[in-house]
Structure 1
Amino acid sequence: MKYKDYYATLGLERSATEDDIKRAYRKLARKYHPDVTKEADGEERFKEVGEAYEVLKDPEKRAAYDRMGSEWQNGQEFQPPPNWDEGFEFRGAGHEAAGEANLDDFFEAMFGHARAAQQRQAAAAMAGQDHHAKVLIDLEEAYRGAQRSISLQMPVLDAQGHVTLQSRTLDVAIPKGIRAGQHLRLNGQGGPATGDAPPGDLYLEIAFREHPRFRVDGRDVSLDLPVAPWEAALGAQIKVPTPDGSVEMTVPKGSQGGRRLRLKGKGIPGTTPGDLYVILTIVLPPADTERAAAAYDVMRQAFNFDPRAHFYG
């Protein structure tokens, strides 16, 4: 998507207060209103000003926007940084991942459901609002379960009208077998209520940190396993790492690079556990000594082998 500098659109610094934003919007909205503007692009500018105001007037949207960073230029190709929303606590009914067509759609996807939830809860005896946040865990924690201390930050307005982040830390039990995308519900940890109404709940969306070795698809896990040419050709017993310790696996005789071997039930635990898939990657030893080079030459002479026999059709 294309980046839009909402502060530049309203002629503001990033340190602008809530009142600064309102004044700038009113001034520009009057200038570019379709009924009065004399600018050729007035209608388009009016829409841009309105979009910028919709984001910057809302502390949660503004804080989320600010998390994208300030180094982007108007019109520049842009993607939100990975896991930009980790630990970002906000009110409402949940949000979806980034990647929409433009920033307006992005914030609509993130907070659109929140507005509907706020309207529903306004009529619900002043009960506290539900809050949401995304937390990252290690894949190993999904295999074994864990006790985690998590830090959350929620945007609030201070007395001067600046957006600040209010921090809190919670101790959370990560259950064994949890998948990416699942939610943990913490009763009463959402917004406060008034009177005798109950407080809201906090929903933690689980995501996995990027792992240097394993890839995750639902409950299934996969990894690339390096093997020597003779292990692939002759077969071998190899120790394979898993997120829950190592296991012995048989590499069948005559295996090719890219072969996918399944270790049943070695994926993320569950009522029906996932599987662990091992993709063989054949690694050639270097011909960096006379003896090694001679061994390659013996192998070349021993085989009547053309690796491109079927390549050209």
Structure 2
Amino acid sequence: METLEADSGAHPAPGRFICRFAPSPNGPLHLGHAFSALVNHDAARRCGGTYLVRMEDVDATRCRPEFADAILDDLAFIGAPPDAPPRRQSAHMADYAAALARLEAMGLVYPAFESRAEIARAVAARAAAGTAPARDPDGVALTPFAREGLSDAERARRRAAGEPHVLRLHMAAAIAAAGGPLAWREAQGLPEGPAAHVPADPEAWGDVILARRDVPTSYHLSVVVDDAAQDITHVIRGEDLFQATAVHVLLQRLLGLPQPVYHHHRLIRDETGAKLSKSNGSAGLAALRAAGVTPAELRRRLGLQPMPTT
């Protein structure tokens, strides 16, 4: 971390503290979710601030209302109910479409027609030929298909013809349009602690996807729109999203959105060292409740202090 003169935009007013817990209602909450919710909740209580919940439910094939109801029930059980009704992303698709349209009008978005299978084959072919594929900070191979591989006219023709495609951010053009160095402020120690400036390197992520035909917004796009819409001053989330913040501050700069303070907390891991996840079948809070685990015991397991009283 280092101090930079430039960052991504407007800052929260001193003394304001609004944070959010943003689960996807595609399954039950586990201990890792409980930890993140409680870290957000406790920080808001210490600061006399506001703790919100956002349902990231844009994926209609996986997200279901009964999971959202169960999440709110689990949050009430652990002592972290939100201070206001949740924002549900599925009710705000027009907001994401408007942000995407702004980026398109700036010439920073293009349709890409390569399928996941085609990308995987191209990456494998390059690896077999001895060319190591470029990878993003999460270790995922970047698409080997350059924007320059098709003309703008051909892309427009294929898009108008209804060919399956995704919409990608033209990263090099986006960085140029940002007009200067990017950084974010990372709170140290506690979420409300002093912040250090972290230089952002969005180029490492390549031409990220901003929308798909079946899911018309991406996490990267919707999260910055939602944080601005909810006046979030402090984004408190897992350390697995630390590097992705570079993309978020780039989008904030391009869209003229305020930049919150960030705090990336530790992850809760299983006995093998893997982070807890729904896809790995990590035990849900409902199962722990049924086994007689109390909210106080959950806090002890998670290494958290007793519930703040203010």
Greater Cα radius of gyration, structure 1 or 2: 1
- Say which structure is richer in helix: 2
- The answer to whether the superposition gives a TM-score over 0.5 is no
Q: What is the TM-score normalised by the length of structure 2?
A: 0.20
Q: Which has the higher contact order (CA 8 A, sep 6+)?
A: 2
Q: What is the TM-score normalised by the length of structure 1?
A: 0.20
